[in-house]
Amino acid sequence: MGRLSGHLLPGFFFISFALWWAYNIFFRYYVSRKEAVINGRSRKCLRYKSSLLFPCHTCCNGAPVEAFLIVAATTIGIIGELVTGFRGGQFVNVGNTQHMSMYFFFGLMAFVNILLHYKFSIPPSTDYAVALLAIVNEALLFANHLHGRPPMDVLVHTLLLYPMAASLLCGAIEMAYRCQVLAALGRTYGTILQGTWFCHVGFILYPLPGMRVWDQEDHSQMTVITTLFTVHLAVDLIVLMVIAGIVNLRVRMMDRPSVQRVLKNINVRFMKDSNGSNGDATRAMISESEDEL
């Protein structure tokens, strides 16, 4: 990632997938709230269920399109790092191996999600476990990626460890408590924060012609960098709030059959991910929801 494109590419992917997650998480949550209101239940008794990735129910017959895209993107990333690592027939950019490792684990996460979708005999929530491992691997690589670099370079990359830690903690809680929407949103927030800061770091370290050139040894400028990170904290939160408002308006306009159909798709998806461990309970939930609606 020792160039602008090396920061913009992963940043773009983090932002894109996080926005997709945010939309789907809020959509599931508000649909669950509306279903509870329709059936006269307390909003504390929601049928919200979280998932690591989200299939596309409007096309491809609910296929795990997102997971396939992640596998494709990480494969392209690995090939790109491998090809650009060679000079004169020798592999000289050793740092590329760390980037390849990061891509591999996120690609493995998506691959496991695909296996769960197609009911392969693997333990439920294995995709969550691999995702947590991918975040640990990413944090480990970044923590040991900065030896001998200028102070500002070290700072901007060290700040990335905070959203990684947040994603790791929230992802672990989400894996254990699939009904906790705040845990899913916390994971999403950590991911979009990684993405926006990744992109900003690229422009700080590799400014385009005409852009400000930062003095990477100036501690006063490093203070400004930390303040800019807090701006990302605020802006990314506002983005999630805007998405929540838009999704809430959409769900308010849905009729009962639409709510029933969405909840059924979600519960069937959850039953696939559970791989039978919660199958009976989920089938009962689907049946009960259909009777009430």
What pLDDT, in 10s, does the model give residues 98-148?
A: 889 999 999 999 999 999 999 899 999 999 999 999 999 999 998 887 788
Sign of the torsion formed by the C-alpha atoms of 227, 232, 234 and 235: positive
Q: Which helix (H) or strand (E) holds 87?
A: strand 86-87
% of the chain beyond a pLDDT of 70: 86
Q: State the total domains in the chain.
A: 1
pLDDT for position 231: 98
pLDDT tens, 201-259? 999 999 999 998 999 999 999 999 999 999 999 999 999 999 999 999 999 998 888 88
Does position 95 have pLDDT exceeding 70, yes or no? yes
CB 217 within 8 A of CB 150: yes
pLDDT tens across 164-181, in order? Answer: 999 999 999 999 999 999
Residue 43 has pLDDT above 80, yes or no: no
**CA neighbor of 127 nearest in space, from 16, 53, 201, 227:** 53
Q: Is the pLDDT reported for residue 197 higher than 90? A: yes
Strand, helix or coil at 86? strand
pTM reported for the whole predicted model: 0.88
- Check residue 269 and give its pLDDT: 58
3-state secondary structure of 90: strand
pLDDT confidence bin for 94, thresholds 50/70/90: confident
pLDDT digit string, tens, across residues 151-164: 999 999 999 999 99
From residue 52, give the alpha-carbon distance in Å to each of 7, 80, 95, 131. Answer: 24, 26, 29, 8
Which residues fall within 8 angstroms of residue 152, CB to CB, at 6 or more apart?
Answer: 204, 214, 215, 216, 217, 218, 221, 222, 225
- Name the residue range of residue 280's domain: 4-292
C-alpha span between 234 and 267 (Å, rounded): 34
End-to-end Cα distance, the chain: 52
Lowest pLDDT segment from 9-13, 151-155, 279-283: 279-283
Task: Judge whether residue 280 has pLDDT over 50.
Answer: no
HSE at residue 107, side-chain half, CA atoms within 13 A, is 16
The candidate with the shortest Cα–Cα distance to 263, out of 244, 285, 246, is: 285
Return the ∠ at Cα 111 (arms to 70 and 121), rounded to 5°: 155
Query: Mean pLDDT over all residues of the chain?
Result: 87
